Amino acid sequence: MDMEGEFQALIDRHGGEIGPFQTLPASARRALSHYMTVDGDNADFAKNLLFRYMLIPAEDLKRLCWNAPMNEMRHEFADWESYHEDYWSIEDDAHYRTHLANMWPVILSEDEGVGDGWHRLHWYLRKGVTEIPAVHAVAID
């Protein structure tokens, strides 16, 4: 299965209802708002999108990210686990302690697996979270 098919299959398997921004859990609204107004450049993003909120098994999400078309880590690391260990070798755990309390979702991307929330993803995996919260934007036609 190609990446586009793998991405869509994951969404179909684990994706929740499609709905407007206002129907998302508060944690997802905060993550998206932060991403689009602080890290992004579009404060009005929610007007033209619908969203899916889902819980994705950690193993499925790792596989999706590892196989993503724009995954540059495959060139440097033998597997996800060696990449993950290297990622945290320079991080300070104390900075991420609130992630488990807040459980902001990662924001999915067809090109990278995760478009935003890599720190959260690695933190959740480090702490043994088995289902990772995720949100995916769906354009309104």
- CB-based contacts of 68, cutoff 8 Å, min separation 6: 3, 109, 110, 111, 112, 113
For residue 32, pLDDT beyond 70:
yes
Give the pLDDT score at 71: 84
Residue with tokens 């302690």: 97
Task: Give CA–CA dist 70/112, Å, rounded.
Answer: 5
For residue 105, pLDDT beyond 60:
yes
Task: Give CA–CA dist 74/69, Å, rounded.
Answer: 10
For residue 62, pLDDT beyond 80:
yes
Mean pLDDT score, 27-50: 75
Give the pLDDT score at 26: 92
Give the pLDDT score at 131: 95
Task: Give CA–CA dist 83/98, Å, rounded.
Answer: 23
Task: Give CA–CA dist 129/137, Å, rounded.
Answer: 23
Greatest mean pLDDT range, 32-46, 52-66, 88-102 = 52-66
Residue with tokens 């060139």: 75
DSSP state of 105: P
